[in-house]
Structure formats: structure tokens, C-alpha cells
Structure 1
Amino acid sequence: MRPARPGDEDAVDTVIRAAFGADAPEHGDQVGDLWREVRASGLVLAEVVAVDGDEVVGHVGVSHCWLDARRELVDVAMLSPLSTAPDHQGRGIGTALVAAAIEAARGAGRPALFLEGSPAFYGARGFSRASSLGFEAPSRRTPEAAFQVVVHASHEDWMAGRVVYPDVWWRHDSAGLRDPDLAFLEDLFAREHPPAT
């Protein structure tokens, strides 16, 4: 693991497109294009890569977003995307990259790190359901179980409310999901990860 360096951009792009495009190449292209624009917009807080020799085989991005709390707008962070080259998956690279992202957000002084993803995968790696701490997803199209957070020591109780993504995420239609994927995951999460009571 190491911080991404100038010159890693094309290798990172290749890993993102391969990881997200394994089943649907157009999805890999959407995420790859999104991350290039996030980087070009100056929103990146950290990028960490996993390398095998000189080859980039994994990547995680941490970027800027806001929390619209009642008292004030709070600078927070989001983890996305997380990518491991398909031929390197199942070796713990994703787990190590998630840990690196959590540390990067903490090091950037952000009180919380948010993501949209699998509660089984991320829940086992330190994330919890964001709604249980008073956070709202940026889109109503984000299944509640998928919207997760890690809070850091700088988080205070008044820091609750809706997370706001920069406009690049909306231009790429990358906040939440659309049907039929949304309906499928809502049904799956309702069965596997019911809300805490």
C-alpha cells in the first residue's frame, strides 16, 4: 500500500474500469469517468493504491463532501471508489484499502467518512448504518442499509443531518441506484439486514 503518485492515473483508471466492469463494462466506464472528473475537480482528499511489484492492483479514493447539520455545513469525506483488479481479488487487498481510507479521512481531520456499499463487507471493516447516528443519505435512492459511516474522534453529537455530494456525483448519476437494481437491493437488505430496533 502507498499513496497514489503522479503518473499512477492511467493504472488506477485501468483497475477501476476492470473491477467495476467485470459484469457490465458500461458500469466500469461510468465509475472510471466519474473518478477522473472527481480528481480533475480538486475534490480528492486521498488516493491509496495497492501494488504488486510495480503494478497497481488496487485503489481507493477518498473525496470531499458535506454534512448539512443544523448548526453549520460540516466538511466530511466519502469513500468511493474501492477497486481491486479482478485477478487479485480475495487476497485481502480491499480490506487493507478500506483501513487506509479510514486513516486518510481521520488524518485529513474529517469527523466522518461515508459510503454507499455492502453492509456485510463494510460492516465487518468498521462501518455502521449511518441512519442510526442521525445521518441521511444524499439521495432517497440509497438503500438505508447501504448508507454507512465511520465517525472519528472529532465528530460531535450535533453533527447530524443530510450528506451532500458535490455536483460531479449527480452529473454522473452516481448517487444512489435506479430500478431495477434499487428494488432488488431494497428487497435483499430488508431480508438480510433489517433496521435496528
Structure 2
Amino acid sequence: MAVRMEELRDHEAVRAVNRAAFGGGHGETVAELVAALRRDDPGALSLVAEEDGEVVGHIMFSRTLLDAPRELVPVQTLSPLGILPQWQGRGLGTALIRAGLDEMGERGVPLVFLEGDPRYYSRSGFEPAAGLGFRKPSLRIPDAAFQVFRLPAYETWMTGTLVYSDTFWRYDCVGLR
């Protein structure tokens, strides 16, 4: 399995991965979200997991803000992470997360936020965000699902409210519906 940067030729395969991974109508919404994030955030990090020339997994990190008392802090959101169902449980998601976090650290990003299963993401070092002084951007996000990963550029004054980019709101991809 290889993890690499997404290329233009991967767009349709990534769309198929997200449709399958998230299923039903939500899979289509996630696929549209990814396309919109590509347009709205040219600096987004989009990685794929490839096995024998086939894209079997995808992860995206995009810009967002932390409204800290001192100043707005540019941070990143990890969303989405999708693996084709038949490839789940083989460590591809963990490999994509690790590669993305390594890149975020190299870019000097202080924090990466996500909404997700704490049992899964805690294995990659994500922590409950509320206990570290962060406030979620929507009451629809379950407390346990709101998580953060602190990178080397993080400083203790960086607390406050996460502010998702407009793209997440436009596609109603914040919290549970």
C-alpha cells in the first residue's frame, strides 16, 4: 500500500471511495464536499491510499480558524477520511492520518480538529478537544466526537472556538443531522 498526494487523475476514484465509505445520500454529500473544498481551499492537503494501482482510501485536511482570545489562529480540519468498505480494518486509515499529520507538522500547523469516533481517532493521538480549552462550532457535534491533535507549533494560549470554513456549512457537514 502506498500513500501519496492526490492527483487530478484521482478525482473520480476519490469520489467513488467517499460514496462507498459514507454510503447512501451522505456519501454523495461527502463527495460534493470534497470537490468544493478543492475549489475553495487550493492549499488543502488531499492524500490517497493506493493498492496495486487502485485508489482505495482518501483523506483531506483543509483550512479553518480557531477564534482564540489573542488572535485568529489558522488551523486545519481533518475531513473526510474514507476507505473502501472491503479495505477497511487493514490500517489504511491510520496510515493516511499519520502521513497527513506529518505533513501538517512540516507546514507549521499548530492544531488539527475533527469530528469522529473517539475510539478510532484516539489511537492516532487525537484527544477530546473540550478538555483542552476548545469549543465546538456547533451544538450538533457530540462532545466526545469533537477532537484535536496538537502539533509542535501549538502554544498553550491557543484556545477558543473552532470556526469551520463556509464550505462545511454550505454542505451541512457540521455535526449530526
TM-score by length of 1: 0.86
Name the amino acid aligned to 1:139: S
Match of 1:127 in 2: 126
Residue 114 of structure 1 aligns with which residue?
113
Structure 1 residues 174 and 43 mapped into 2: Cα distance closer, same or farther (>3 Å)? farther
Taking the TM superposition and a 5 Å limit, the aligned residue runs for 1:71-150 are: 71-150=70-149
1:16 has 2:24 as partner = no
For residues 109 and 51 of structure 1, the distance between their equivalents in structure 2, rounded to whole angstroms, comes to: 27
Percent of aligned positions that are identical: 46
Whole-angstrom CA distance in 1 between matches of 2:138 and 2:102: 26
SS at match of 1:94: helix
Structure 2, unmatched stretches of 5+, are none
State the alpha-carbon separation in 1 of the partners of residues 41 and 142 from structure 2: 28
Alignment: residue pair count: 175
Give me the whole-angstrom Cα distance separating, in 2, the residues matched to 1:106 and 1:64. 14
Q: Which amino acid aligns with 2:135?
A: E
Residue 7 (structure 2) aligned to one of 5, 8, 11: 5
Q: Which moved more, 1:121-130 or 1:42-51?
A: 42-51
Deviation at 1:144, TM superposition (A): 0.9
CA contact (8 A) 2:37 2:44 kept: no
Query: Given that residues 62 and 104 in structure 1 are in contact (C-alpha distance below 8 angstroms), is that contact kept between their aligned partners in structure 2?
Result: no
- 2: CA distance, partners of 1:42 / 1:27: 21
Q: Which runs of 5+ in 1 are unaligned?
A: 179-197
Find the counterpart in structure 1 of residue 45 from structure 2: 46
**Secondary structure at 2:69 match in 1:** coil
Higher relative contact order (CA 8 A, sep 6+): 2
Contact 2:38/2:44, CA 8 A, preserved across alignment: no
1:55-89 Cα offsets, whole Å, 9 max, x none, are 10001000000000011000000100001011111
For 1:62, give the aligned amino acid: F
* Residue 33 of structure 1, CA deviation: 0.7
2-structure distance, mates of 1:45, 1:109: 14
Superposition TM-score, scaled by structure 2 size = 0.95
**Separation in structure 2 between the aligned mates of residue 44 and residue 32 of structure 1, nearest angstrom:** 18
> How many Å apart are 1:44 and its aligned residue?
4.4
Q: Contact (CA 8 Å) 1:67, 1:75: kept in 2 or not? A: yes
2:65 corresponds in structure 1 to 66
Q: Give, in angstroms, the shift of residue 104 of structure 1.
A: 2.1
Q: Where in structure 1 do 4 or more consecutive aligned residues deviate above 6 Å?
A: none
- Deviation, structure 1 residue 45: 2.5
Secondary structure of 1:32's aligned partner: helix
CA RMSD of aligned residues (A): 1.0
Q: Please state whether the residue corresponding to 2:105 is helix, strand or coil.
A: helix
Please say if residues 80 and 115 of structure 1, whose CA atoms lie closer than 8 Å, have aligned partners that are also in contact: yes
